[in-house]
Amino acid sequence: MTDYLVYDVFTDRAFGGNPLAIIPSAQGLADADLQRIAREFNFSETTFVFPPVAGGDAKVRIFTPSAEIPFAGHPTIGTALALHNLGRVGTDMVLELGVGPIPVTITGIRARFVTKVPLQTWPGPSVEVVAASVGLGLDKIRADRHRPIIASVGLPFVLAEISTEDALSAIQTNTDAFRAFDSQWPTANHYDLFAYTRDGQTINARMFAPLDGIPEDPATGSASAALAAYLGQLEGVSATFQINQGVDMGRPSKIEAEVTVDGGTPVAIAISGEAVPVMEGRLVV
């Protein structure tokens, strides 16, 4: 039997934020079972912790219900806090992820990680495609500050600014529109969409990944990191953003995203947030 934990991430209370299943000692599991276990939990992500292989404190593999991915924000935050609470790491650690080593610092129930993976961008879908994907009129997709664009610091997302809070709340996804654009996706992943509104440094967001088995995600640190990096490059300055997500799902989440810009290029992204334990148990397979 293998122990597991469930943490709610990017929240300070149970049943908010984004739930994460964590297998803190996964070395006894068959590799072929990892995807099956993640599908059984059916959370946005499940993490499996292994002994380090590259000088860090732990190796972490991350699975969605449909695939292994190299990087994600709420799994990094939640797994770091879980390992700290188990007494296996101190307040400073390095987690070995698919994108390389990620340093994490713990303060109370809050974790902060830094990634220096370079920002990558590709041409995004048209305003028409985004509007069809989210069931909104063309006038609800903003293109004055930037047109929809695909951006990644480890995991790619379409970043699309929405005109109003009411429009953001009114989104109804059209999976057929996601499928239609997916053939043009530039990586092995699927078309995932991070829709947001912005008021200064405050961002309200929703993330949709129906082709990955995630109709909507309550909190997406990897998309927040990509957005912070892209806005830092677009505006040429370092900045800190407060990102609210999951509100329309009844799972409010708070993510802090910091971008450090040097010479017009984002050189580091920090994501921080809180997480709390809500369940524990054992796998019996």
Q: What pairing do the DSSP bridges indicate for beta strands 58-63 and 120-123?
A: unpaired
Neighbours of 76 (CB within 10 A): 27
Angstrom distance (rounded) from CA 70 to CA 195 = 22
Tell me which residue of 252, 233, 234 sits closest to 242, measured CA to CA.
252
Q: Of 40, 45, 165, 216, which one is the catalytic site residue?
A: 45
Q: What letter would DSSP give residue 149?
A: E
H, E, C per residue of 92-114: EEEEEECCEEEEEEEECCEEEEE
Angstrom distance (rounded) from CA 41 to CA 205 = 25
> Which tokens is 230 given?
């892209």
Angstrom distance (rounded) from CA 256 to CA 197 = 15
- DSSP-based three-state secondary structure for 271: strand
Q: What letter would DSSP give residue 30?
A: -
Q: Is 256 a catalytic residue?
A: no
Angstrom distance (rounded) from CA 61 to CA 184 = 27
Q: How far is CA 30 from the centre of its chain?
A: 26
Judge contact between 272 and 112, C-beta under 8 A: yes
Q: What are phi and psi of 266, to 5 degrees?
A: -70, 125
Judge contact between 147 and 124, C-beta under 8 A: yes
Query: Which residues form the catalytic set?
Result: 45
